[in-house]
Chains A and B, each alone.
Chain A
Amino acid sequence: MNLNKIAPRILTHAALLLICAGFLLPFFWMLSTSLKPLDQAMEFPPRFIPRTVPLYTYHNKVTPLPQNYYDVITSDRFDFPRFSRNTLIIAILCVTGTVISSSLVAYGFARINFRGRGVLFAIMLATMMIPFPVLMVSLFSIFRFLGDHTPIQFLGTFKPLWIGSFFGSAFNIFLLRQFFMTIPDELSDAARIDGCSEFAIFWRIILPLSKPALIVVGLFTFMAAWNDFLGPLVYLQRPEQYTLALGLQAFQSQHGGTPYNQLMAASVLIITPVIVLFFMAQKTFVQGIATTGLKG
């Protein structure tokens, strides 16, 4: 190989290595700070690698759990177990609702040729342009009205955060429709001749064939619920209902001088599940994102 061919490849490697180092640095810094005792976290100039990592000691026995993480999990200002439980409840309800409702609707848009389908689909795509902040005032008043005039309370409960997901979400309907359209019509036709109802075709043929797409939708929804900040900020009132995102912000803003080592430990705890989920379904996931941008 001559130099002309090799040089650009070496340059590409060099550039990518440098950029990747930059992208990893925040993770590294966060992890490093989260393991340091406070005096080391605040020392100047700081060290990249903690000199010592204090570990939680239980009955004179050293555990592998770093002290900061123990302090965060048991802190009375950051009720980690409760916040995780709240976040999980909301996320699981959102995932269930979104997967069921969005796949039903996507089936309608993808596989049934009915009058007005094009118009409805266009309207649905257009709703993606309306962001939550625009709707939050009136949604809040609607939920308040319902709470005042029916026996069911909405504000100050988790309901406003998940109820909408049972009515389909435009983005996920779009994604699933794209996938359903790639499944050959002959499969449905054959089932129809065998006397299958439309719902049976959806349930027995299309859904089992669409597992990768359903997983992507589930993951997207889970992460969106896990990350959501503005929704919980608007609808939740009491600290014991906080989600992890809201709890972390409260933890940071309540402390006058933030103990950054604990704040970083809490951040690591919130980030880890998302990253783990991603690596478990990496390939499906990346394909999912790519499809949304391409077939528009």
Chain B
Amino acid sequence: MTHADRKNLFKGLAFCSPWLIGFLAFTLVPVALSFYYSLCDYTLLQNPHYIGAENYRMLWNDHVFFKSVINTLEFAALAIPSALGISLGLAILLNVKIPGQSFYRTIIFVPSLVPIVASCMVWLWLLNGKLGLVNILLAKIGIQGPSWLTDVLFTVGSPPDRVSYYWAMPALAFMGLWSVGQTVIIYLAGLQDVPQELYEAAEIDGAGAWGRMRHVTLPMISPVIFFNLIMAIIGTLQVFEKPYIMTQGGPARATYFFTQCLYENAFRFMKMGYASAMAWMELLLILALTGIAFWSSKRWVHYQGK
């Protein structure tokens, strides 16, 4: 290492030191600590004491925990594709050069700024079974809407294995569509970067609107779709505020998600060690799903030659 190299290393580390310290104190140590806690019996009242893999064994047999994992995955399967699909559709519409374009863009974007707690209050009111605006509008076209946050959607099987699905889960996914603004903006930026020549070339080759979409737009913006997918996975797997505030995880734990399970075990039941094991499961789940996304991206994400 030359003198200049050493000087640069020193300077670089000096500038990066706030993050380096923060990374150690607020990420690395907590992650390591949470692994240690996950192997401990640790209530807030006494010091952690080592019990090996007992917490993980208990997790394996914990129906409530499993329910929360399944719910979270179901919610992700419902919310992620619908949000990504609809925001792509919106972005395509908002990319058409027409007068009033920036006005439309602003309106679609603004709801994503609404603080999540306020958004929960508004939707509690909108989804109200009797007086909610959603049901009033549905009534106008002759549909009687359910009590969205409490009613059963459908039931499968017969007792004792009867499983009920509730409207609350799709209702939460639906209200998420109101705040897709940021995703739409990111899509739009991607759409604007598609070179116009490609569309002209495709048109000369006889491609219709659908052909241009399928063979030009989608491949060209696939890195942006991928980025939005990753962000959506990370965001959806930790969903907390909406169910916690609007349904308290109900009805019958139908919207009881991972993070609420973790939160309640840690701060309501004071089972900090057990909750740490859950935290590790959550981290692994996020890693696994983003890992699958990365693996699949080789097949559908096209990067322009760099």
| Residues in chain A within 8 A of chain B (CB atoms) | 8-9, 12-13, 15-16, 19-20, 23-27, 29-30, 33, 42, 44-46, 101, 104-105, 107-109, 112-117, 120, 123-124, 127-142, 144, 164, 166-168, 170, 173, 198, 202, 223, 226-227, 229-230, 233-234, 244-246, 248-249, 252-253, 258, 260, 263-264, 266-267, 270-271, 274-275, 278, 282, 286, 289-294, 296
Contact = CB atoms under 8 A, between A and B. Distances in A.
A29 B9 CA distance: 57
A249 B120 CA distance: 9
Given A129-B290, A135-B34, A296 B227 contact: yes
B108 interface: yes
Interface string B40-62: 00001000000000000000000
B287 interface: yes
B122 A29 contact: yes
Contacts of A112: 8, 11-12, 15
B115 A16 contact: no
B130 A44 contact: yes
A26 B115 contact: no
B203 to A, nearest CB: 14
B269 interface: no
B245 A109 contact: no
Interface residues of B, number: 92
B18 A105 contact: yes
B198 interface: no
A134 B117 contact: no
Interface of B: 1, 5, 8-9, 11-16, 18-23, 25-27, 29-31, 33-34, 37, 44, 90, 93-94, 96, 98, 100, 104-111, 113-118, 120-126, 128, 130-131, 133, 136, 178, 182, 185-186, 188-190, 193, 223-224, 227-228, 234, 237-238, 240-241, 245, 258-259, 262-263, 266-267, 272, 275-276, 279-280, 282-283, 286-287, 290
A223 B113 contact: yes
User: What is the predominant secondary structure among interface residues of chain B facing chain A?
Assistant: helix
Q: Most chain-A Cβ atoms within 10 A of its Cβ — which of B16, B23, B37?
A: B16
B131 A44 contact: yes
Contacts of A25: 133
Contact of B27 (A16, A27, A116, A127): A127
Contacts of B122: 26, 29-30, 264, 267
Contacts of B234: 128-129, 131
7 contacts: A23-B108, A137-B34, A139-B26, A140-B267, A168-B18, A230-B259, A282-B106
Given A12-B98, A117-B12, 20 more contacts: A23-B107, A44-B131, A104-B16, A114-B9, A123-B23, A124-B19, A133-B238, A137-B279, A139-B26, A164-B26, A166-B22, A167-B25, A168-B18, A229-B245, A245-B116, A260-B131, A264-B122, A267-B121, A271-B118, A293-B228
